[in-house]
Amino acid sequence: MGRGLFLGRGLFLCLLVFCTSVLMELSTAQMPGFVSLDCGGSQSFTDEIGLEWTPDDHFTFGERTNVSLTNETRTQYTTLRYFPADDRKYCYTLNVTTRTRYLIRATFLYGDFDSNNVYPNFEISLGPTFWSTIVISDASTIEVRELIFLASDPTISVCLSNATTGNPFISTLELRQFNGSMYFTGFENQFYLSTSARINFGAESEEPVRYPDDPFDRIWESDSVKRANYLVDVASGTKKVSTQLPIDVNRDERPPQKVMQTAVVGTNGSLTYRLNLDGFPGNGWAYSYFAEIEDLAPEDTRKFRLVLPGAPDISKAVVNIMENAQGKYRLYEPGFENLTLPFVLSFRFGRTIDSSKGPLLNAMEINKYVKKIDGSPDGGVIASIISPYTSAAWAQEGGDPCLPVPWTWVHCSSDSPPLITAVKLSGQNLTGNIPSDITKLSGLVELRLDGNALTGSIPDLSSCVNLEIIHLENNQLTGELPSSLATLPKLKELYVQNNKLSGTVPSGLLNKKLNLKWVQPLISLTAMLNAPAIMHTSHFISLHLT
């Protein structure tokens, strides 16, 4: 018997070694669509759970710094990147596959990196959409924000802005790709899902379950973690149960098997919980994950109802896990695609009168709908205009040109969606022709491209009917001043001196009340000064011979 035990143990050890090496091999093949940015880091590394982290060292904005906390030693939390507390936004851009759903997770561990006695408070946005306000309230708590979205463009931008106190900063940015129709909703073209609660009931430790147990690296919080106003008012008679048997989870949201192998049971007929839901009140997506993992006697039944205060309709449906899932150890995932929920959520699962067993709950997930904000319709045009200048800092500001705050060299209208009203790229080493796409910025009021090395002729700007101010001086523009400029009804200021322009000022322009700066090559200057139109309107024109 002792020998048998010894052999058994040897076999067990073998299995363990084998399993570990298989795990290590698996972990070197990162899941497709995973991006893990270690903000402020300087080296790539693979962490203890097999995630491959890369530093954000190509990022040109902000400063890197080290943080040191005795109880948080994960490499990705020993560094962060912080930004000036100014009016602008600082954006990370990530590649995604369109028509695919993702989880984006941003985390923030302050660690008192700036030895400031004021905690940072700033905002995070996904593209033009306000996502969340990051409020730091202590140095050693990791703030986590997650958003589930359907990618509609080949890139996404995550931006920090609007610091009201302290410096905006970020510790990690994690992108995780979902499979198939996971997290499909009928609202996904207008709304993102912001994670409020993802709870593993009956958890055997306080550790969350995530990758590799969850191949999509969602974080399932343990119900053993004690927090104020979170999973309190637990009914007496609530017991944890678990199984080692495999669970069939390959449907719907595919919760990880490890989460489904544990549950709580209301042995006295009820399961009750109260928890604060970040981001609520509002409309949300709320699902329960059930799998029968107890051995019920043939005469036993487990039937129960969800009871939500103020929502009597919800209590009509009876859950019978084995029947609904068509067997034991199989996932059944009932829920509500669109439910109005309060900030303080109290819920109860109660046994039906004819049920011999109390309710069982393996996991639960609640996400809040976040309305997508339309970005500026000028976004595509301005992106193509700046595409030749990818290495310039001003071309790397990222995100939407206008929202939630405009790029430093752009002004926008207050319409929703906003239009670009000013482009200010004076002295930025622009070369080549004035991009003809500029003429597609229909809301443009002010165009400043002076002090560059622009060549070629001035494009027809007559489609920008709101243009008031045009500065093209100090370039190498050639050709004539287009007569179409005279059709701009609001034009007040046109500076074109110090170029290589030829010809004369179109007569249409001379008839306007216009501040015009124009230096003519010597030969035609004489001709121009002799033109009768000049004599007629000279008090409206300033001729600058510099």
Ligand X SMILES: *[C@@H]1O[C@H](CO)[C@@H](O)[C@H](O)[C@H]1NC(C)=O
* Site residues (vs ligand X, CB under 6 A): 64-66, 71, 95, 123, 140, 162, 164, 179-180, 187, 191, 215, 236-237, 268, 283, 338, 369, 404-405, 427-429
8 Å CB contact between 373 and 129: yes
8 Å CB contact between 161 and 89: yes
**Distance in Å, CB of 323 to ligand X, minimum:** 26
Residue whose token pair is 């306080």: 206
| Residue 455 vs 484, nearer CB to ligand X | 455
| Residue 206 vs 480, nearer CB to ligand X | 206
Say whether 22 sits in a helix, a strand or coil: helix
| Residue 132 vs 497, nearer CB to ligand X | 132
| Residue 182 vs 469, nearer CB to ligand X | 182
| Residue 13 vs 118, nearer CB to ligand X | 118
Classify residue 124 by its DSSP letter.
E
**Distance in Å, CB of 123 to ligand X, minimum:** 6
E strand or H helix at 381? helix 379-386
Residues 6+ apart with CB under 8 A from 279: 132, 194, 196, 368, 370
| Residue 302 vs 368, nearer CB to ligand X | 368
Pairing status of strand 121-126 against strand 129-135: antiparallel
8 Å CB contact between 331 and 229: no
**Distance in Å, CB of 542 to ligand X, minimum:** 28
**Distance in Å, CB of 147 to ligand X, minimum:** 14
**Distance in Å, CB of 49 to ligand X, minimum:** 15
| Residue 268 vs 315, nearer CB to ligand X | 268
**Distance in Å, CB of 209 to ligand X, minimum:** 15
**Distance in Å, CB of 10 to ligand X, minimum:** 33
**Distance in Å, CB of 351 to ligand X, minimum:** 12
| Residue 402 vs 464, nearer CB to ligand X | 402
Residues 6+ apart with CB under 8 A from 232: 273, 274, 275
Give the angle 58-63-64 at the CA atoms, nearest 5°.
75
Question: Under the phi-then-psi rule, with left for phi > 0, alpha for psi from -120 to 50, and beta for the rest, what region is 315?
Answer: alpha
Say whether 313 sits in a helix, a strand or coil: helix
**Distance in Å, CB of 122 to ligand X, minimum:** 9
**Rounded to an integer, what distance in angstroms lies between the CA atom of residue 73 and that of residue 70?**
7
Residue whose token pair is 């203890």: 48
| Residue 33 vs 379, nearer CB to ligand X | 33
Query: Residue 357, CB half-sphere, CA atoms under 13 Å: how many?
Result: 22
**Rounded to an integer, what distance in angstroms lies between the CA atom of residue 151 and that of residue 187?**
13
Phi, psi (5° rounding) for residue 476? Answer: -125, 40
